[in-house]
Amino acid sequence: MLTIFNRKELITTMDMQRQANIRSVLSANGIAYTVRTENLQGSSAFGGRSRGRSGSFGVDPNYSYEYHIYVHKNDYENALRLIR
């Protein structure tokens, strides 16, 4: 079981295709993982209206999210070898 206490961050990427490929490789090799997705255009402390106020003109939507992939700390070395 993968928990916050026994996991290690494998990689952080903003590339959706890369994170999908990494997840595919991990699954194919039987390595459990979790993904935390962070919206970089996220809501503000003012009710989530910051994007409406400042706009998103010129922001590449392909890089609006950051993906953090975690694996069990015992699987880390193997997982790292597989994705390189």
The CATH code of the domain that includes 14 is 3.30.70.790
Domain count, the chain: 1
pTM (two decimals): 0.78
Q: Dihedral through CA 7, CA 13, CA 17, CA 19, nearest 10?
A: 0
Q: Are 6 and 72 in contact (CB under 8 A)?
A: yes
Predicted local confidence at residue 46, as pLDDT: 46
pLDDT digits (tens, 9 = 90+) for 25-82: 999 999 999 999 999 876 554 444 444 555 566 666 677 899 999 999 999 999 999 9
pLDDT for the residue 58: 64
Question: Residue 66 has which token pair?
Answer: 């950051």
Best CA proximity match to 70, nearest among 22, 15, 16: 22
Strand order through the sheet with 7-13: 7-13, 65-72, 33-39
Residue 73 has a pLDDT of 98
**Which residue segment(s) compose the domain that 34 sits in?**
7-83
